Structure 1
Amino acid sequence: MAKEIKAIKCPQCSSTAKTEIKPEIYRCNNCLTEYFLDNDDITVNYNHNHNTNAQKPILDPKQAKNLITGIVVVVVGIFLINLLINIFTPSNNSGAVISAVAEEQKEKPIPFVEEAITAYTFSKPSTQEPVVMNVIHREYKDSADYQKTGVYLQFYDPVNKKLIKEAKLENEMSGTKFKFRTFSDGNVYVILKDQLYRLDKDGFRLLNAGKNYFSTQPKFEVGIAGVDFDSDDRGDALVVSTNDGKKYYYYPLIQKVYKATTDERARAEWGFKNLLPTGRKKIYHTFSTESSDFPDEKIQLLKVSYLDNGPGPKKLPGSMSWFKDYFAAGGNGFYTSNDPYVKSLFGVYNEASCRILGAKDLTPGRNYFFPKIAYEDDTTLIIQMKGDASENRNYKLQKLNIKNGKIEWTADLPSCCITEQLVKHKNGYIGSLKKDEYTLFDLKGAVVGQFSPVTASHAAPQ
């Protein structure tokens, strides 16, 4: 009978790859199982080897090279697929991730609460760079940080929007009453909780000035109940209340004290002959105001010359308008509209009390609408005004020649008007056009940037 030809397979893994190790005894090349053949019925008997230490087949160099090449191809393919997905997938997913991160950061508790008290701008004397001093009250929520609660001074570079220095005031200085005044010595003085300090503009700190100024006065030995600046037109004067209920006008730079209930100070600030040795002639500019006596008179830009008493008693001229001066015409104090008068800007009394030497119209015949002095020093005069009487018209800055009043440049303001006088620095000017924001101008009035100390305060490092 003819024999049927059958493939001999490994009974364990069905592989036909084998090696004959003895007559009719084979070892599977795949799983190393040994088996033999029964000739009668081609029965396969096997012995499966569980020895894990048996040597496995080693790839030849060609196979190894192919395997490594395949792995590299797969890795590069996965990278390219991810890159293409990121390029052609809409940015909504990345936006969602950013939003999720932002939301997570937003949920983090803020360790403190800040309240803006005031801000003050100045030019650093040594470099003439602008500085914004922001004064805040910071209250920490965690009981472990209560000692950090208090008033902080933050000094910013508004050009680069960078915090220069932050300092917490001493506990006894903490409070929310801040007032600033520039005295005739060029220093900025600060009233803080009835104490007098001097701003160190180069060192970015407050120095106690009251200890030196008040300790030298016998009248203040009973103790000081309160300190404040006198009105702006009184110069370097402080109003001091003592613990015994008395009130004084104090000029600390010359150590002179005048009792408030007497006319001592009035006599010291009156007239042209009782100036201090430091007194000198000065010029300032102001706009006249509308006149009820002479309604047809234009608003004028006045150049006023006067004798300034430096750190001593003085009364600076205020707003001026043309009026009928009956006293100067020889009246006796009781006047009627039929009495003679002299058309005057100052009057005899103000000329003597303010030591006014004279005034002239710097820009004769020119019309002004809502004008204001924006900045002036010995060589520079910048005004702010509207081009016409329209309420919707934006304000402009204009630099005038201080000698002849000619216009040197004009620039539009981006919004409304300057709330305080500009501060000059080496590359331009800085001023506030709206609350909590400062605008930077170049030397020709063009806007070059904005800065908000409130926004910067929340981003300041702790």
Structure 2
Amino acid sequence: MAKQIKVIKCPNCGSIEKSEIKPEHYRCDNCNTEYFLDSDDINVNVRYQNQNNTQVNYLDQSNIRSIIIIVACIVVVIVFSSLISIFFKSKSYSNDSYSNPPVSHTTKSTKSDTALPAETKNVVKEVNYHYCSLTVVENKPFIISIAQRKYSQSSQSKYFFVVHDLLANKIVQESEIADLKTDNFGNVKWDSHDFTQDITYLTAGKRTTFLLDKKKLALTDVTSSLLKNYPQYNTGIASVNITTAQSTKGAYVFHILTDDGQKIYYFPIQDKAYVDNNDFYMALKNLDQANDTSEHTAFSFAQQYDKDFKLIKFTYVSPDGKSYYTFTSANVGDEKTDGSGKFTDEASAYNVDHTFYRDSKYRLVSHQNLTPNRLYFSPEIVYFDDTSLIIKTKASASPDAHYNYQRLDTNTGKVLWTLSDEKTTIKDITHLNDDFIAKQNCGKYAIISSDGTISKEITLTLEK
């Protein structure tokens, strides 16, 4: 069979430059590809030899290696993340079971508590004060309070009787008040009244009565003993309120509903009980009063209609030593009464408000305008005793003016010092030696030095 002449090109790169290795077997001079012709001279068969590690094959191997490495890294990350998640989840379960034993509502630390991290302790997170009073015992100030405490690991709250040593800012006494009648929200409504300077009664939820002795720093449940000397009424207390009635001459009294439906008025200081009926009003005439004939000094701001305020200093006598005199208006100067209980025209012009002007036991002895040449703007009496007087008044007539607290000389009315309410807010004040203790709220107090500067601010500690 005759052979035809054809141009033989490299099937890989198309080059016609070649070298014959053996009959009909060639190597491309351009790319080193070997190829040969089959017997019928039609097909070209190619055999690749990668002697020079061509770029195409190198890239293929690199891509495969990279893919393998990436897949391996992803697998390692997934496995590692799973192990970490399992570890921390196990640790979290362990902490929860350790930090949530049955909660004991107390602020006293135990040995097991001290070993716990701070975030796992059942600490006090909020305190609501339902009563607080500053008292001085042996020349040392104490804060007595009824505190409702909420804890970090409990949705419930409990009530405590707490005594703080104020200057040391330390709880020196506390006790839980248990078995109180609460409302639907778990709260208790408290009421209180100072029946004497040192003895206070409190009621909780109109069901329980407590006696607070401020000098002994003691709180006692006296619900069952209130009517112990009156067996005819002592059938159990359904409710008890501290109240006043017009017939009681403004004095505070317990109004008790017994379990058998009787309504009783009970005077704790005199230990007198009366049925709430018409006989009660007649019986009050024979109610024993304290026989205090000493003179007492008090202060009051008075204003006649829209005229200027006047600061009135007055002296009075009352059987129980309390001031029932309040000057509400004044339009005259320094005039004195005749001391007989009958008021001159000048004295009457002060418009003295009191309950017992017809009773000779209660007498207004004298009165005077302490600062006749001074203007006052929205004034109030903050504190007074035999030697000290502290008032509150705006700095000017402007409705936006701030208030000033001022200590005045009780004899001359001279301003001894001034403290702005921009520095502190005073709700109540007590005299201690040469200093004053100002109550800002039940949990915050300030010590005011004799020159009117704030020497110390105290925020009561929450835990013992």
Q: Normalised by the size of structure 1, how large is the TM-score?
A: 0.58
Aligned residues of 1:289 and 1:320 also touching (Cα < 8 A): yes
For 2:76, the equivalent position in structure 1 comes to none
Question: Does residue 395 in structure 1 map to residue 403 in structure 2?
Answer: yes
What is the CA-CA distance between 1:412 and the residue it aligns to? 3.3
Separation (CA, whole Å) in 2 of partners of 1:302 and 1:258? 39
Aligned residues of 2:299 and 2:384 also touching (Cα < 8 A): no
Question: Does residue 346 in structure 1 map to residue 352 in structure 2?
Answer: yes
Q: Deviations over 1:318-360 (max 9, x none)?
A: 562259xxxxxxxxxxxxxxxxxx7451379762379342543
CA shift in 2, pair 1:108/1:187, >3 Å: same
Pick aligned residue for 1:449 from 425, 431, 456: 456
What is the CA-CA distance between 1:254 and the residue it aligns to? 1.0
For 1:242, the equivalent position in structure 2 comes to 258
Give the 3-state SS of the residue equivalent to 2:227 in structure 1: helix
Give the 3-state SS of the residue equivalent to 1:300 in structure 2: strand
Aligned residues of 2:314 and 2:368 also touching (Cα < 8 A): yes
For 1:201, the equivalent position in structure 2 comes to 214
Pick aligned residue for 1:280 from 281, 287, 293: 293
Question: Does residue 431 in structure 1 map to residue 438 in structure 2?
Answer: yes
Pick aligned residue for 2:242 from 229, 235, 241: 229
| Structure with larger Rg | 2
Separation (CA, whole Å) in 2 of partners of 1:283 and 1:409? 25
Aligned residues of 2:326 and 2:354 also touching (Cα < 8 A): no
Unaligned runs of 5+ in 2: 1-115, 332-347
Separation (CA, whole Å) in 2 of partners of 1:382 and 1:266? 41
For 1:385, the equivalent position in structure 2 comes to 393
Separation (CA, whole Å) in 2 of partners of 1:315 and 1:257? 25
Aligned residues of 1:179 and 1:190 also touching (Cα < 8 A): yes
Q: Which amino acid aligns with 1:252?
A: P
For 1:136, the equivalent position in structure 2 comes to 148
For 1:257, the equivalent position in structure 2 comes to 273
For 1:302, the equivalent position in structure 2 comes to 312
Q: Which amino acid aligns with 1:228?
A: N
Pick aligned residue for 2:426 from 418, 422, 426: 418
What is the CA-CA distance between 1:422 and the residue it aligns to? 0.9
Give the 3-state SS of the residue equivalent to 1:214 in structure 2: coil
Q: Deviations over 1:48-80 (max 9, x none)?
A: xxxxxxxxxxxxxxxxxxxxxxxxxxxxxxxxx
The Cα RMSD (Å) is 4.0
CA shift in 2, pair 1:449/1:365, >3 Å: same
What is the CA-CA distance between 1:168 and the residue it aligns to? 1.3
For 1:29, the equivalent position in structure 2 comes to none
What is the CA-CA distance between 1:425 and the residue it aligns to? 2.8
Q: Which amino acid aligns with 2:372?
A: P
For 1:372, the equivalent position in structure 2 comes to 380
Separation (CA, whole Å) in 2 of partners of 1:398 and 1:215? 48
CA shift in 2, pair 1:214/1:245, >3 Å: same
CA shift in 2, pair 1:445/1:183, >3 Å: farther
Separation (CA, whole Å) in 2 of partners of 1:281 and 1:398? 29
Give the 3-state SS of the residue equivalent to 2:314 in structure 1: strand
What is the CA-CA distance between 1:115 and the residue it aligns to? 4.5
Give the 3-state SS of the residue equivalent to 1:383 in structure 2: strand
CA shift in 2, pair 1:318/1:435, >3 Å: same
The aligned length equals 323
- Greater relative contact order, per chain length (Cα 8 Å cut-off, separation 6+): 1
Aligned residues of 2:301 and 2:381 also touching (Cα < 8 A): no
Q: Deviations over 1:94-145 (max 9, x none)?
A: xxxxxxxxxx9785475666441324132232233243535123468469xx
Give the 3-state SS of the residue equivalent to 2:137 in structure 1: coil
For 1:361, the equivalent position in structure 2 comes to 369
What is the CA-CA distance between 1:220 and the residue it aligns to? 2.9
Q: Which amino acid aligns with 2:408?
A: L
Q: Which amino acid aligns with 2:273?
A: V
Aligned residues of 1:239 and 1:248 also touching (Cα < 8 A): yes
Separation (CA, whole Å) in 1 of partners of 2:399 and 2:161? 38
Give the 3-state SS of the residue equivalent to 1:237 in structure 2: strand
CA shift in 2, pair 1:207/1:288, >3 Å: same
Separation (CA, whole Å) in 2 of partners of 1:142 and 1:401? 52
Separation (CA, whole Å) in 1 of partners of 2:378 and 2:130? 27
Aligned pairs for 1:53-132 (under 5 A) are: 108=120, 110=122, 114-131=126-143
Identity of aligned residues (%): 20
CA shift in 2, pair 1:438/1:391, >3 Å: farther
What is the CA-CA distance between 1:206 and the residue it aligns to? 0.7
Give the 3-state SS of the residue equivalent to 1:351 in structure 2: coil
For 1:150, the equivalent position in structure 2 comes to 158
Separation (CA, whole Å) in 2 of partners of 1:410 and 1:108? 47
For 2:447, the equivalent position in structure 1 comes to 440
Unaligned runs of 5+ in 1: 1-103, 324-341
Aligned residues of 2:145 and 2:161 also touching (Cα < 8 A): yes
